[in-house]
Structure 1
Amino acid sequence: MDLSQRVRAILSFVQAADSGSFAAAARVLGISSAAVSKNVASLELALGVRLMNRTTRTLNLTDEGAAFLKQARIALDALDTAVDAVAAQRVETSGHVRISTSAAFGRDQLMPALPGLLTRYPALSVEVDFDDRVIDLVHDGYDLAIRGGHIADSALIARPICRLNMVLVASPEYLERKGTPHTPQQLDQHTLITRRFLGGKVSPWCFRAADGSITTQDPDHAMLTLSAPEALVQAACFGMGIAQVGVHHAWKHLSSGALKVLLLGQHDPGSYEMVLQYPHRALIAPRVRATIDYLLAAFANDEALHVPLEALAAHAG
């Protein structure tokens, strides 16, 4: 007898014992009286003992049947408890959520959102890995990941967070000392700060000509090469040179006047994006669904992630 047959047989036996007849049990279970009788007989055959003595009018439990009924009720109660626990989780939104994010976005955007998430869902616990490497979301056991760049097509669901516009910046002190470049060609006379990704590739700088064509300039004479985007912003604020950074990283420093935008309208902002990824669209655990919905709403209200390019003109050097 396989597991599904065993469960059906046990349910038939318990209902027959409670109802006092196969016919009454059949009405409750929505099956025929003959099916109830067959289920109980198959259970007895599997157990090797008689559970009920039946006549045309009555059912009487044997000693073995009474003992089995007691254990069967415990098992069925355990199943009910398991179902109730899952239902309660749907209401309470409890459980553990594992998130993978880049170090910079995790610190500046995710961390400020977590207090509100955990206040709204106090039964939730969150584990965050700050890691810029490419991960296998499913194999590594994450519920969701936040990633930026050129997002490749995959089996993962990707929910957009924002565009990641790039911008060239430098401090007022650097521009006063070195002068302000007005064309991409003049960058050859400046100190450049560039980013090298973990895979070894240096981030190119792209420029848009009047006819709409785009040219790429590799900052191969950079004085300083860094792997962390927030370090590029910091170096630019220190007056060390010109850096290409994400607007969301630089926005607070642009707003305060600590950095200025360069070559606006000539520098190409790129086609990068930030997304929230997760493995499945259907039957997402309530703890994961609640986390996704809350974080997307929080990121939508993060001013630094949605700065329009035209707003940068007020901060041009």
Structure 2
Amino acid sequence: MEALNSIESFVLSAESGSFSAAARRLGLTPAAVSKNVARLEASLGLRLFQRSTRNLTLTAAGERFLRDVADPFSAVRDAIANAATHEGKPSGSLKVSMALAFGREYLVPLLGEFLQRYPAIVPDWHFDNRPVDLIAGAFDAAIGGGIELTPGLVARELARTHVIVAASPSYMATRAMPRHPSDLADFDGIVRRSATSGRLRTWTLRNQVGEQAEAECRPRLIFDDPEAMAHAAMLGHGVAFLPMPHAARWLSSGALVRLLPGWYADHGPISIYYSNKKLLPEKTRVFIDFVVATFREQRLASKFDAR
């Protein structure tokens, strides 16, 4: 088991690029991780890392060893995880990343049934609007969009999403409804700043017959969060371009009305991301199957489709 601990410290340090990050994933001190790696190096008679005060990089021998050991070690780790069941049922901590508002609105309500089916699994859910690195962050899965499919990851699509134009009934009470996307130039806009580029988002809307048109409002408020944009729109501050997961609830309640109902923009898929390992931990496998089945049974994908 000591050799396995040393290999685990090496693999996680190589994946994350530091002893400190590996230590956080293992629940150890950085000194303990460094000691494990040094023990492995002594046993192999090889230097696996070049160490400096700022960087930890693999040597050529370290890169070769990582290629040789990473997949077998992952298989052993997964076999151990699958063996660690409670009375024959999936168990353990399930670390999942998801966007804040989406997770709260659509995934937290699923917890009751999931916990009833799998009482030995402990959900460890992280709510963050930024895409995460599943491997470096040691996540079992992530739900959302925009995560890069790096080697070792797969994505299973849950729903397609669209962006629509919405405003509050009070804001529209004294205004004529727009008939074409170009009419939006006369409206106050609650616009979104991209968290990655820092630029204001612009949208090209399309309709069912294939026409396309640029749509822009006069920027009145600039936010970087679509949930905040929805709430500002409900307060009557202007028109917002909202992804359907953030608009569906308020359109149903009447707090928002959809403008230009024949027009929409594609916003990409919502997917569940996970490792492409042949032997997934049982806790991860049952979670993926549960989420996919629930989206299908509750027809959640139809809520996010604006066509």
Scaled by the length of structure 2, the TM-score of the pair is 0.67
Give the letter for the 1:201 counterpart. R
Identify the residue that residue 223 of structure 1 maps to in structure 2.
220
The alignment's C-alpha RMSD in Å is: 2.7
2:268 maps to: 272
CA contact (8 A) 2:203 2:214 kept: yes
* Equivalent residue, structure 2, for 1:214: 212
Q: CA deviation at 1:163?
A: 0.7
Equivalent pair of 2:84/2:91 in contact (CA under 8 Å):
no
Cα pair distance change 1:90/1:270, threshold 3 Å: farther
Q: Give the whole-Å Cα distance in 2 for the aligned partners of 1:223 and 1:131.
A: 26
Q: TM-score, normalised by structure 1?
A: 0.65
User: Is 1:143 aligned with 2:134?
Assistant: no
Q: Match for 1:286 among 282, 285, 301?
A: 282
> 1:298 offset after TM fit, Å?
2.2
The answer to which structure has the higher helix fraction is 1
Change (3 A) 1:304 1:269: farther
What is the match of residue 118 of structure 2? 121
Structure 1 spans left out of the alignment, 5+ residues:
4-81, 311-317
Using a 3 Å threshold, how does the CA distance of structure 1 residues 297 and 90 change in structure 2: closer, same or farther?
farther
Q: Over alpha carbons, which structure has the higher Rg?
A: 1
Indicate the SS of the match to 2:276: coil
- Aligned pairs for 1:222-261 within 5 A: 222-261=219-258
The corresponding residue for 2:169 is: 172
Change (3 A) 1:105 1:84: closer
- What corresponds to 1:7 in structure 2? none
CA distance in 2, matches of 1:170, 1:287: 42
Q: 1:33-84, CA deviations, whole angstroms, 9 ceiling, x for partnerless residues? A: xxxxxxxxxxxxxxxxxxxxxxxxxxxxxxxxxxxxxxxxxxxxxxxxx989
Which one-letter code corresponds to 1:202 in the other structure? Answer: L
Unaligned runs of 5+ in 2: 4-78
Deviation sequence 1:110-165 (CA, Å, 0-9, x none): 1111222112111111111111122211011111011225x654331101110111
The CA deviation at 1:210 is 8.8
Q: How many residues align?
A: 227
Q: Structure 2 vs 1, CA of residues 90 and 102 (structure 1 numbering), >3 Å: closer, same or farther? A: farther
1:262 equivalenced with 2:244 (yes/no): no
The structure with the greater share of residues assigned to strand is 2
The match for 1:296 among 285, 292, 298 is 292
